[in-house]
Structures are given as C-alpha cells and as structure tokens.
C-alpha cells in the first residue's frame, strides 16, 4: 500500500505470534494487489479502465469496500468522494506540480460518487462516465487494518494492534491490562520531527488521522496538500488535521478525510451524527473535540 505497516500482538509464544503476523501481512498484501491504484492489473485499475464502457466483474471484497466508500461519500455529502481520481491525477506532491486551473475545472463533472454503480448480485462495479476514476486512497488502508485484525483473531490472537500508516485498529488489552496508546502528531512542529500533540487509549477501536502535513508542497506561501475538496478540485482549506475514532478502520479512514474537507463546523456535526469520536485542528490551530473524547484523550503540549 505504498506505506509502512506495523503489527503488534499479545501471545503466549513467539511462534504463534509470528505465524499470526505472517498471515495478517499476507492478507494486506492480497488486498494491495486488488485495490492498488497504480498497478495496471488490480481490480481497481480494471474498473477505471472500463469507465463509460461496461461494468467490471470483481471480487466480493472489492464490491464491499466500494459500497462502503459510496456510503461514506453520501454521508459526508460528497466531501469524501470515492471518484476524486481525475483530480488527484493532476497533482504531483513530490515534484511540486500544480495543475492548470482550466484542467482542474474541466474535470470537475467527472467527480460524482452517484455515477459509480455497484451490483452486489453480479459482483460488478461500473463507472458510468468516460474519464471517471475511482480512488480508494482514503479508505483502503483502514479497510486493510480491519481485515488484518480479522486474520489475527482467526489465528487465535486475543489482543493486538495493526497500524497501516496513520490508520490504526486495536483489539483486546495489553498484558498489563491497559489499552493501546496511540499518539496524534502535531501538524505544525516548526521544523522538528514527529512531535506528539496528544495520545488516545484504544480498546477495541480504530483511529485514523488525516492531515495537510503528510504530502504537500509550499508555493507562494500557500500549502498544497493531498486532500482535495471534490467541489473545487483544490486542497481543502478548513483544517490542519482530523482524527476520528470508531469501531472500524474503514470508517475512521474515510471519515477523517471527509471531515477534513467539511471543515470544523460541519465536520463535527457529521461525526456526532455518526456516533464517532473525533478531534479537529482547524486552519488557525483551534481544537474541537466531540464530547465523548474527553477522558479518552490526553494533550501533551502546545499546538
């Protein structure tokens, strides 16, 4: 998945731990092969290649994650939009390439999750317009964390943590009876590396953070980052980072991105409506937290 995956488990023997971790990594590998945006042979690439032409038969798992992605798109009123692909393709955050404004605007009509159709019975996915492209970049990692945890449990593991970059799912308790402590990074460290802004303790929960500090470049004092507002095709401007806690990684991953685009006011409403916990750091560094997060979150320093 083009990122670092870390798996920890609690186990009586190293042998059992190794075997379970091996199986969980294989599970993530398999998902990477089907959902990878960049490989021509993935199921996702086949769906994109047939946009505007024909429904594509894919595995039930691909249908499942896309159904989830469409659902989150609807619940965030398109702030998270699984069809953001044509706009994302215009940006290059490594070589700091800005797209032409004209092209950004031309492609906006291609971004609309309502034009992505799934047929669960036939196990097919169809992008109805030519040029559409689905992008699972803001949901696949959380989904993979869920599936890896499922695999660990199947292997008889009772407690563990899977971190697919910033998408983390934990289950059970550590041997000392405590939950799994996860740090939330400070999005503005002023040059210093990874600084922890706060920690949360997880027990059978997932957490994801979306931020404007992971993949970005600066130009004329403006920060251009990889979370785009599907309405404009440009990076969303309301937040610096959004952290979401929920039962499943598939939700925390996609809703952290969607909430980031919605901004603090609408974003908090959506999180509360979903019954999720979350923290938003807005563009001016103000902190918003859902009521239920208090007591679970511990702040470390300045932000």
- Residues contributing to the site for ligand ADP (CB under 6 A): 80-81, 84, 88, 135, 137-138, 165-166, 210, 214, 226-228, 230, 253, 257, 261
Q: Find the residue with minimal CB distance to ligand ADP.
A: 137
Cβ closest to ligand ADP, residue 157 vs residue 262: 262
Q: Which of 268, 269, 270 is nearest to 279 (CA)?
A: 268
- The site partner of 135 among Mg ion, ligand ADP, none (C-beta below 5 to 8 Å per kind) is ligand ADP
Count residues near Mg ion (CB under 5 A).
5
Contacted entry of ligand ADP, Mg ion, none for residue 277, CB cut-off 5 to 8 Å set by kind = none
Residue closer to Mg ion by CB (options 21, 202) is: 202
Residues 216 to 255 in contact with Mg ion, rule: CB under 5 A: 253
Taking each helix axis from N to C end, the angle separating 60-75 and 140-154, rounded to the nearest 10 degrees, works out to 130
Percent helix, strand and coil across the chain, each to the nearest 5: 35, 25, 40
Closest CB to ligand ADP among residues 2, 18: 2
Contacting Mg ion within 85-114 (CB under 5 A): none
Answer with the entry of ligand ADP, Mg ion, none that 43 interacts with (C-beta below 5 to 8 A by kind).
none
Dist. CA 250–CA 72, nearest whole Å: 10
For residues 2 and 122, give the distance between their C-alpha atoms in angstroms, rounded to a whole number: 31
Is 178 strand, coil or helix? Answer: coil
Cα-Cα-Cα-Cα dihedral sign, residues 52, 36, 164, 14? positive
Residue 91 or 171: the one with the smaller Cβ distance to ligand ADP is 91
- Residues in contact with Mg ion, shown as a per-residue x/- string from 128 to 167 under the rule CB under 5 A: ----------x-----------------------------
Strand partners of residue 119:
124
CB of 174 to ligand ADP, least distance (A): 25
Nearer to ligand ADP, 88 or 196 (CB): 88
| Distance in angstroms (rounded) separating the CA atoms of residues 195 and 147 | 29
36's contact among Mg ion, ligand ADP, none, with CB below 5 to 8 A by partner kind, is none
Sheet holding 196-202, edge to edge: 180-185, 196-202, 297-299
Nearer to Mg ion, 143 or 224 (CB): 143
CB closer to ligand ADP out of 166 and 267: 166
Closest approach of Mg ion to the CB of residue 22, in Å: 27
- HSE at residue 294, side-chain half, CA atoms within 13 A, is 5
> What is the number of other CB atoms lying within 10 angstroms of the CB of residue 146?
22
Listing DSSP states for 190-236 in one string gives: TT-S--EEEEEEESSEEEEEEETTSSEEEETTEEEES-B-TTTSSB-
Among 210, 243, 289, 290, binds Mg ion (CB under 5 A): 210
Q: What are the residues binding Mg ion (CB under 5 A)?
A: 138, 210, 253, 256-257
């Amino acid at each position: 998945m083009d990122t670092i995956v870390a798996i920890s488990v609690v186990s009586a023997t190293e042998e059992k731990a190794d075997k379970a971790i091996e199986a969980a990594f294989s599970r993530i590998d398999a998902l990477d092969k089907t959902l990878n945006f960049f490989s021509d042979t993935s199921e996702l690439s086949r769906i994109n290649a047939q946009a505007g032409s024909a429904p594509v038969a894919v595995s039930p798992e691909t249908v499942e994650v896309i159904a989830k992605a469409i659902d989150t798109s609807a619940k965030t009123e398109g702030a998270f939009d699984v069809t953001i692909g044509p706009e994302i393709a215009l940006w290059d955050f490594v070589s700091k390439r800005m797209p032409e404004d004209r092209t950004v605007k031309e492609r906006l009509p291609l971004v609309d999750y309502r034009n992505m159709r799934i047929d669960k019975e036939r196990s097919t996915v169809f992008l109805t317009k030519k040029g559409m492209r689905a992008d699972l970049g803001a949901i696949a990692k959380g989904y993979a964390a869920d599936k890896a945890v499922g695999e660990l449990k199947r292997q008889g593991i009772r407690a563990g943590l899977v971190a697919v970059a910033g998408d983390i799912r934990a289950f059970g308790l550590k041997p000392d009876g405590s939950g799994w402590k996860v740090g939330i990074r400070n999005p503005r460290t002023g040059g210093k590396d990874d600084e922890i802004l706060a920690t949360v303790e997880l027990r059978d929960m997932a957490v994801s953070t979306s931020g404007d500090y992971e993949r970005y470049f600066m130009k004329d004092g403006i920060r251009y980052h990889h979370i785009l507002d599907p309405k404009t095709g440009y990076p969303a401007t309301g937040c610096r980072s959004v952290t979401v806690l929920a039962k499943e990684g598939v939700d925390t991953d996609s809703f952290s991105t969607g909430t980031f685009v919605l901004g603090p006011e609408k974003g908090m409403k959506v999180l509360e409506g979903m019954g999720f916990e979350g923290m938003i750091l807005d563009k001016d560094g103000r902190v918003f937290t859902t009521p239920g997060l208090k007591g679970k979150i511990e702040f470390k320093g300045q932000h």
